Amino acid sequence: MERLEQLCKNVEKHRQLICDAHDFIWEHAESGFKEWETSGYLEKAYEKLGYTLVKAGNIPGFYTDIDTGRPGPKLLIMGEMDSLIIPTHPKARKDTGCVHACGHHCQSAALLGVAAALKEPGALEGLCGSIRLMAVPAEEVVEFEMRDELRKQGIIRYFGGKQEFLSRGYMEGCDLAFVVHTSYGEGSFESANKGDNGCAFKNAEFIGKAAHAGGSPHKGINALYAANLGLNAINALRETFREKDCVRTHPIITQGGSVPNAIPSKVVVENMVRAATIGAVIGTNEKINRAMAGAAAAMGAGLKITDRAGYSPLHNNFRMNELYCKAAGLLDPEYPIEPGTEWSTACTDMGDVSAFMPVLHPYCKGAAGPAHSDDYEIASVEKACVNSAKIQVLLTELLLENGAAEAKAIVENHTPLYSNLEDYRADLDKLMIDKDAVQMNEDGTITLNYKE
Ligand SMILES: [Zn+2]
Ligand SMILES: [Zn+2]
């Protein structure tokens, strides 16, 4: 119990540092791969604590290592930095519409608190192995075109910050990982789900032919009707989705024509495919592309498919979840929690990390209002940031104490989905599709070309 009190004190001592970071990052909300001010602020704060950083350089974010001096597994602890873009949120930045409506600023502030607490005398006493603290960019997928531009420039390979850091090798040598996300509701902590879906991002451009909608519609090809057929075909496919695959797909039309008296020549459908396995994401994506290509062909329209790999499914490690619940019970005995048993159909790039090592993505309370909504705010910085830092320090302790017995057992009992980056990239590449999917041949046949 004495040790628990000491660990909490180590965090509380840095309450001001944590709160200041919270306030600064909230005020300077930045969307993914643009978190330069956030990253800069954190870099200075970490360096002031005496940390040597490895900076990503051409994108925001960095990591630093702490060695206990005793051999053992390497624990990776992450904090996300990016905001959302919700211009209607009352606290959104006037210039960019950016606002931390998912609470990632609390993760960054809490992780800084962890960094500070681990520098306290005796903090690493009794621990084995090492710890990597990592400030990661871009968890939320927004600004698709900007990210695709970064991709074309060769700056990033994937749209998620953790995916990108993983792909760059920044997680090599790490054996297990966690990130604590902010949430809302009663109590102080919330365990992780069983896991989350993986996903792909989709953009389909139906290409028709403009004509006078009243005078000469017969001279046109209606791209909107082709898109409508495509959406109906997607809906008709839903009965082929198996329950166990937890498939979600939710297309929207982002460009549907320009004026009502012209036949629409260009209609854009943006969509996502989410599923419980990467195989189900790939398979469903293929069906959807076939449906849209068939619909375009039926109308004599063209179809340009631009698909991008999203996140891999997240599998939370059960033992780590149990240890998180244990830590939560020590910090807030009034609200005991149990490991979650539900599978979530949302997605996070923590899933990509879970394809390589045991991970945990649990929650810490303190927010008010549902994430991503206009009502989201932080009701208690103490709960969302200081408590978060405390439970992270305590979870680290539980994993790495006693010769890192728990961490070692977790790693030994875990079979990663991928053992190398090549296999991982090969799967994600199946979701990187740039195709002109419909070709009308002179002999009357139609060639559909919608697969990777
Ligand atoms: Zn979010
Ligand atoms: Zn989030």
Indicate whether this model's pTM tops 0.75: yes
Tell me how many helices (H) and strands (E) the chain has.
13, 23
Q: Which ligand is nearest to the CA of 104?
A: 2
The whole-number pLDDT of residue 141 equals 87
Compute the distance from residue 371 Cα to the ligand 1 centre, in Å: 6
The whole-number pLDDT of residue 451 equals 87
> Among residues 173, 227, 195, 234, which one has the least CA distance to residue 352?
195
Compute the distance from residue 321 Cα to the ligand 1 centre, in Å: 21
The whole-number pLDDT of residue 92 equals 97
> Among residues 279, 298, 299, which one has the least CA distance to residue 222?
299
The whole-number pLDDT of residue 277 equals 96
Residue 168 one-letter amino acid: R
Tell me the pLDDT of the chain averaged across its residues.
Answer: 97
At 382-435, the pLDDT tens digits run: 999 999 999 999 999 999 999 999 999 999 999 999 999 999 999 999 999 999
Compute the distance from residue 33 Cα to the ligand 2 centre, in Å: 15
Residue range 198-311+426-448 in CATH 3.30.70.360: yes
Q: Which ligand is nearest to the CA of 350?
A: 2
The whole-number pLDDT of residue 421 equals 94
Compute the distance from residue 440 Cα to the ligand 1 centre, in Å: 42
Q: What is the four-CA torsion angle of 116, 118, 119, 120, rounded to 10 degrees?
A: 100
User: Which H helix or E strand runs over 39?
Assistant: helix 36-48
Compute the distance from residue 264 Cα to the ligand 2 centre, in Å: 37
CB under 8 Å to 96, separation ≥6 — which residues? 29, 30, 31, 85
Residue 254 has pLDDT above 90, yes or no: yes
The whole-number pLDDT of residue 157 equals 95
Compute the distance from residue 368 Cα to the ligand 1 centre, in Å: 14
Compute the distance from residue 98 Cα to the ligand 1 centre, in Å: 13
Residue 260 has pLDDT above 90, yes or no: yes
Length of the chain: 452
Residue 1 has pLDDT above 80, yes or no: no
The whole-number pLDDT of residue 145 equals 87
Confidence of residue 452 (pLDDT cuts 50, 70, 90): confident
CA distance 91 to 87: 9
Compute the distance from residue 107 Cα to the ligand 2 centre, in Å: 9
- The domain spans of the chain are 2-195+313-416, 198-311+426-448
> Among residues 367, 361, 398, which one has the least CA distance to residue 383?
367
Two tokens, residue 8: 């909490």
Q: Mind giving me the DSSP string for 310-367?
A: -PPPEEB-HHHHHHHHHHHHHH-TTS------PEES---THHHHHTTS-EE--EEEEE
Confidence of residue 188 (pLDDT cuts 50, 70, 90): very high
Compute the distance from residue 121 Cα to the ligand 2 centre, in Å: 33
Compute the distance from residue 53 Cα to the ligand 1 centre, in Å: 27
Strand partners, 291: none
Pair type for strands 343-344 and 195-196: parallel
> Rounded to 5 degrees, what angle do the CA atoms 182, 183, 188 make?
90
Compute the distance from residue 407 Cα to the ligand 1 centre, in Å: 28
Compute the distance from residue 102 Cα to the ligand 2 centre, in Å: 5
Q: Which ligand is nearest to the CA of 372?
A: 1
Q: In a 3-state reduction of DSSP, which class is residue 425?
A: helix
Average the pLDDT over 142-148 and give the result.
91
Compute the distance from residue 188 Cα to the ligand 1 centre, in Å: 19
The whole-number pLDDT of residue 101 equals 98
Compute the distance from residue 317 Cα to the ligand 1 centre, in Å: 21
Tokens 């909608």 map to which residue? 213
At 52-91, the pLDDT tens digits run: 999 999 999 999 999 999 999 999 999 999 999 999 999 9
Other beta carbons less than 10 A from residue 169's beta carbon? 9
Compute the distance from residue 215 Cα to the ligand 1 centre, in Å: 48
User: Is the distance from CB of 133 to CB of 66 less than 8 angstroms?
Assistant: yes
Average the pLDDT over 131-140 and give the result.
98
At 231-252, the pLDDT tens digits run: 999 999 999 999 999 999 999 9
Compute the distance from residue 104 Cα to the ligand 2 centre, in Å: 6
Average the pLDDT over 292-300 and give the result.
98
Compute the distance from residue 123 Cα to the ligand 1 centre, in Å: 32
The fraction of the chain above a pLDDT of 70, given in percent, is 100
Compute the distance from residue 104 Cα to the ligand 1 centre, in Å: 8
Compute the distance from residue 127 Cα to the ligand 1 centre, in Å: 33
Two tokens, residue 212: 């006078």
Q: Which CATH superfamily is domain 2-195+313-416 in?
A: Zn peptidases (3.40.630.10)
The whole-number pLDDT of residue 359 equals 98
CA distance 274 to 436: 23
CB under 8 Å to 163, separation ≥6 — which residues? 157, 311, 349, 352, 428
CA distance 402 to 3: 14
Compute the distance from residue 288 Cα to the ligand 1 centre, in Å: 26
